[in-house]
Amino acid sequence: MLILLPPSEGKTPAVRGSAVDWPALSFPQLNSYRAKVLDALGTVSAHEDALALLGVGASLKDDVERNTRLHAEPAAPAHQIYSGVLYDALGYKTLTASQRRKADESVLVISALWGAIRFGDNVPAYRLSMGTALPDVGRLASFWKPQLADALAGAVSGHLLVDCRSSTYAAAWAPPATQTVTVNVFTEVNGVRKVVSHFAKHTRGELARHLLARRGKAPESPGQLLKASREKWEAELVEGSARKPHALNIILPG
C-alpha cells in the first residue's frame, strides 16, 4: 500500500541543518527537473511583483522571499516541513517508531517543487502551488505529468494506491486506475449528502493515520481498504474501471 498526499499550503521552516542533499532525495531521476523548477521559482520570487505572480497575499512575503535562497536554506524531513489540517490529523510525531518507519516507506507526497518525495526526504520550506505557471516551465501540473509517469512507474507497481490528493495535485500525475482508490468525504443529513472541503483534509489525514497505525497487514485491494475504513467510519466503495479509479466515499454525520 502507498498513500498519496498533497503537500500542505503552510510549511514549517527548519530552524537549523544542512541544505537539501539532492542525490539523497527519492526518485533522483527527477533532480534535473526539480532544479529547473527551483531556478524558475527563485527568479519569479525575486521579482517586484512576486506575490501577484505566485498568487499569494502580503502575509506570505517572508515565505516568498525564502524561495530566493532555497539552495542554501536548512532542510528537514518532509513530515516536519509539511503542516496544516491533513498533516496535523495524521500526527506523525505521535506514531510509534515502527509506524513511523511504515509512514516513511508508504507515503508519497506529490509536490509542485520536488515532483514526488517520500516522508523521510529532507527538503526546505517553500511557497509554490501546483496550479502556478512559471517562466520557461509553464503550468506545473502539465510540466510534472510526464516526468512523474516515468519516475513513479516502478515504485507503484503492484501496490494499492490510496489517493488522498486534492484535484490540483491529482492533475500532475494519473496513477494506474485499476490499483488506485481516490478518497472522497461527505456529510449526510436526512439522506442528503454534501461534499466537504476543510473536513475532507482532516478526514484524509485521519484515514492515513488509521492505515499506518492499525494492526495487521496493510490493505492490498480496494475491498480490503473499504473493510479497514469501516473500522472507523461509515464508508462505501464505488467500483472503478480500466480508466477510472475506484472511489472510497467516507460519510460523516451532519
Q: Please give the pLDDT value at position 199.
A: 85
Cα-to-chain-centroid distance, residue 204: 11
**Backbone angles phi and psi of 11, in degrees to 5:** -135, 150
Contacts of residue 241, defined as CB under 8 A and 6 or more positions apart, other chains included, come to: 177
Render pLDDT for 108-117 as a digit per residue (tens, 0 to 9). 999 999 999 9
Q: What is the CA radius of gyration of the chain?
A: 18
Burial class (CB in 10 A: 0-12, 13-18, 19+), 203: buried
| Interstrand relation of 192-195 and 180-189 (parallel, antiparallel or unpaired) | antiparallel
Chain position carrying cell 480490503: 224
pLDDT, tens only, 149-204: 999 999 999 999 999 999 999 999 999 999 999 999 999 887 788 887 778 999 99
pLDDT band at 53 (very low <50, low <70, confident <90, very high): confident
